[in-house]
Amino acid sequence: MTPDQPASDTILLSVDGPVATLTLNRPERRNAIDDAMRGDLMAVLDRVSRDDAIRALVVTGAGKGFCAGGDVRGMKERLAAPHGQVALNGWRRQQRTHHAIAMLHALPKPTIAAVNGAATGLGCDVALCCDFVMAGASARFAMSYVQRGLIPDGGGMYFLPRRVGLARAKELIFTGRTLEPEEALKLGVADRVTSDEALLDDARAWAAELSQGAPASLALAKSILDQSFELSVEQIFSMGSQAQAICYSTQEHLDSVAAFLARSEAKKAGRA
């Protein structure tokens, strides 16, 4: 396993076989996301996406927290701008936030959020946009935006209802209350719970298991599944037909068919 490397000023990246671990690295701020980290995150995700040797990604936080959301000091600076610029500056920042979350959500490889400590506000969105969420014993989840007079702006209004249903999502967003691991597991916010000590090892082992399929099959299936709630069955069939045609031409499929036929012929020869 390669040690954690400073892929950027605020992001660490390590690789162990087919699994990469991306660590949000502002522990002194509980990994709150500021403008610099947002840009660094996009750069590292682009690197992971283009590296064919990386087959799955684990996302976690350095220190005692996964991610405490947006950096409040950045909010203070934003509000100090001239009144006429606050909205436009905020819109621009939102566009970058949405791009970063979309890159993680659409990464063409399995992703697991290994949540250690607090995942609040935007940090909760980061966890939920991954394919799977594994919670350590210290994990805490909260859609805390309402406590700042805000709405979820990192995809939570899209991801959370798909995990827990519309009424439960409304309750969690309207109250901003905190979920501990067992309730998060019961509601579907988390998919697995483990100890803090085993969190990264368990998440990496799960990621390695998820990464064993053919990369093209995994990427195409994920891209269609992530749209399946919004599309009709006819559209899913159409997209599936196109994706399957691509799979037919991949080396993994050709090698699999050849290996199957070779085993079949060997069995026939053995019976003859």
For 148-171, the pLDDT digits (tens) are 899 999 999 999 999 999 999 999
Amino acid at 68: A
Alpha-carbon dihedral angle through residues 216, 217, 219, 221, given to the nearest 10 degrees:
150
Backbone angles phi, psi at 90, to 5 degrees: -65, -40
What residue spans in the chain does CATH classification 1.10.12 cover?
A: 215-271
Model-wide pTM > 0.85: yes
Positive/negative CA dihedral, 173, 130, 192, 66: negative
Beta strand ranges found along 8-95 (DSSP E) = 11-16, 19-24, 56-61
Whether residue 136 has pLDDT greater than 80? yes
- pLDDT range class, residue 88, cuts 50, 70, 90: confident
Which of 30-34, 86-90, 126-130, 139-143 comes out lowest in average pLDDT? Answer: 86-90
For 176-192, the pLDDT digits (tens) are 999 999 999 999 999 99
CA atoms lying within 13 Å on the CB side of residue 249: 4
CA distance linking residue 218 with residue 15, whole number of Å: 20
Query: ∠ CA(26), CA(29), CA(32), 5° rounding?
Result: 75
Do 252 and 216 touch, CB atoms closer than 8 A? yes
Order of all β-strands in the sheet with 132-135: 5-6, 11-16, 19-24, 56-61, 111-115, 132-135, 192-193
Q: Which pLDDT score, from 0 to 100, does residue 74 have? A: 61
Alpha-carbon dihedral angle through residues 161, 186, 105, 212, given to the nearest 10 degrees:
-140
Q: Which pLDDT score, from 0 to 100, does residue 193 have? A: 98
CA distance linking residue 130 with residue 110, whole number of Å: 8
- pLDDT range class, residue 268, cuts 50, 70, 90: confident
Whether residue 118 has pLDDT greater than 80? yes
- pLDDT range class, residue 267, cuts 50, 70, 90: confident
CA distance linking residue 260 with residue 175, whole number of Å: 55
Who wins on pLDDT, 74 or 144? 144
CA distance linking residue 9 with residue 121, whole number of Å: 22
Both tokens assigned to 48 = 């992971």
Considering the chain, what percentage of its residues have pLDDT values greater than 70? 93
Q: Which pLDDT score, from 0 to 100, does residue 2 have? A: 67
Q: What is the helix (H) or strand (E) element at residue 142, kind and residue range?
A: strand 140-142
Amino acid at 56: A
Do 221 and 162 touch, CB atoms closer than 8 A? no
CA distance linking residue 145 with residue 127, whole number of Å: 15
Residues 6 or more apart whose Cβ sits within 8 Å of residue 217:
247, 250, 252
The average confidence (pLDDT) of the chain is: 93
CATH number 1.10.150 is the correct assignment for the domain at 215-271: no
Q: Which pLDDT score, from 0 to 100, does residue 92 have? A: 86
CA distance linking residue 152 with residue 156, whole number of Å: 6
Considering the chain, what percentage of its residues have pLDDT values greater than 90? 83
CATH topology for the 5-210 domain: 2-enoyl-CoA Hydratase; Chain A, domain 1 (3.90.226)
What residue spans in the chain does CATH classification 3.90.226.10 cover?
A: 5-210
